[in-house]
Chains A and B, each alone.
Chain A
Amino acid sequence: MKAYRTTIAAVAALGLALAAAGCGDDGDSGDGKKITIGIKFDQPGIGLKTPSGSYTGFDVDVATYIANELGHKSGDIVWKEAKSADRETLLQRGDVDFIAASYSITPTRSEKVDFAGPYLLAHQDVLIRADDNSITKPEDLNSKKLCSVTGSTSAQNVKTRIAPDAQLQEYGGYSECLTGLENNAVDALTTDDSILAGYAAQSQFEGKFKLAGFKMSNENYGIGVPKGSELKAKINAALQKMVADGTWNQYVQKNFGPANYKNEPAPQIGVIVS
């Protein structure tokens, strides 16, 4: 009987663990039409999930503006993480209504999805330590230690075209690289300047890092929508209004300002800088 009771106890404990694991999802607030938007969750300045559970960043601000223009209240937005590799799939499957996640317009991607915008012109750049004067031109990256995220094209760009002797370490996220950069384990972190500016703009990093200012590529950020979606025209109209009424400028200042980021002027809708 004792053994039997022990069995019951064990099964009950397992069940408890299961129950605790099961009841995770909390309901959404808001009452109007829901809209699901894909953003980055781990890029400060672009799209970041904060400890309070809210989201901040340039993409988040732009996406909220668009959603409001489309007739959705801010409370009716459902944010969904759009990791770089998943973006086309999310749109094709209809898991999100649109994506604003540092999403560069490229010919390959345009075959699978449509883009509204562009709404920001970014460039590939490197982030270096503020006191590092040894990197003044892209070729200086030779013999330097470079950090980027797994599967990122920007790192491969540098290695194949600009600085073949650079060493490359890849991590799952940019924040890992930042730790190394701060502690001299790596010398430069490369990706789009807007993303880098977002990191450098964080209060805890103020004065520690600087953008080198190499314009190694042009990245036209667009709003990804499913192929053939009628949202494209509506979003373009919203973007035009956002630039015209000064909100765009305000968002740029708010999110990238502290990093001393020299932003490009607001791009013209449908004009891709290559």
Chain B
Amino acid sequence: MFDFLEGYDLLGAFWTTVRLTVLSAVGALIWGTVLAAMRVSPVPLMRGFGTTYVNVVRNIPLTVIIVFTSLGLFQTLGVTLGARDFTTINFRLAVLGLTVYTAAFVCEALRSGINTVPVGQMEAARAIGLTFPQALGYIVLPQAFRSVVAPLANVLIALTKNTTVAAAIGVAEAAALMRVMIENEAQLILISAVFAFGFICLTLPAGLFLGWVSKKVSVKR
């Protein structure tokens, strides 16, 4: 019944999906944290930049960003991100695009987390003489991170689903393989079911696990 899978690297495609997800998640977490720090910083210019970035990027379709990395950055401006062959270049461009997009959502999740930290925490930190970066790094962010596990998990799961957009620039992940298989094989329903199942396997357990983690680590107030 599953003969049609023969000759297709299904696991390889989903492995690419996972690699895209993990690398973009790390990138988005780092860049999103920097953005969040900017958005709450005392420097008006940085605040302005953070706010503008989030409001603009959240309103651009991810597809536009991903396609732009290939046509705009690579084909027009010659940005190759240190890679030489098309496969690696496309993969890295996709990670870059997903990072740029997802960071805006990470930033918003973190900011809402920062807003749940009681004022007294920051006041106490200042009272013992911590500077703003110290207070943010030692007092506010550690608490904020714990309360944002659930929102961040939402962002991560959305990111997993969003990696399919990389098919638009020829990254051989799950959706790209599905496209090829639909073209060449007759069992449309079965093929679609296989890919749907694959994504359910990726997103549902992650959601449940991170939901459990978020209850475990959340700060009791």
Contact = CB atoms under 8 A, between A and B. Distances in A.
Interface of A: 145, 151, 167-171, 176, 179-180, 183-186
Interface residues of B, number: 12
B85 A183 contact: no
A115 B7 CA distance: 35
Secondary structure of the A side of the interface?
Answer: mixed
Given A170-B170, A179-B71, A184 B86 contact: no
B185 to A, nearest CB: 15
A180 B86 CA distance: 12
Given A145-B86, A167-B86, A180 B75 contact: yes
Contact of A184 (B71, B78, B90, B170): B78
Nearest to A179: B75
Given A169-B170, A170-B170, A180 B74 contact: yes
10 smallest A-B Cβ distances: which pairs? A180-B75, A185-B75, A179-B75, A169-B86, A167-B86, A179-B76, A183-B76, A176-B71, A185-B74, A183-B78
A167 B85 CA distance: 7
A167 B77 CA distance: 19
Nearest to B183: A151
Contacts of A184: 78
Interface string B72-104: 001111101000011000100000000000000
Given A169-B170, A185-B78, A186-B75, 13 more contacts: A151-B183, A167-B86, A168-B86, A169-B86, A171-B71, A179-B71, A179-B75, A180-B74, A183-B76, A183-B77, A183-B78, A185-B75, A185-B80
Contacts of B77: 183
Interface in B163-198: 170, 183
A85 to B, nearest CB: 9
Contacts of A168: 86
B181 to A, nearest CB: 14
A54 B46 CA distance: 49
A2 to B, nearest CB: 28
16 contacts: A145-B86, A151-B183, A168-B86, A169-B90, A170-B170, A171-B71, A176-B71, A176-B75, A179-B71, A180-B75, A183-B76, A183-B77, A184-B78, A185-B75, A185-B80, A186-B75
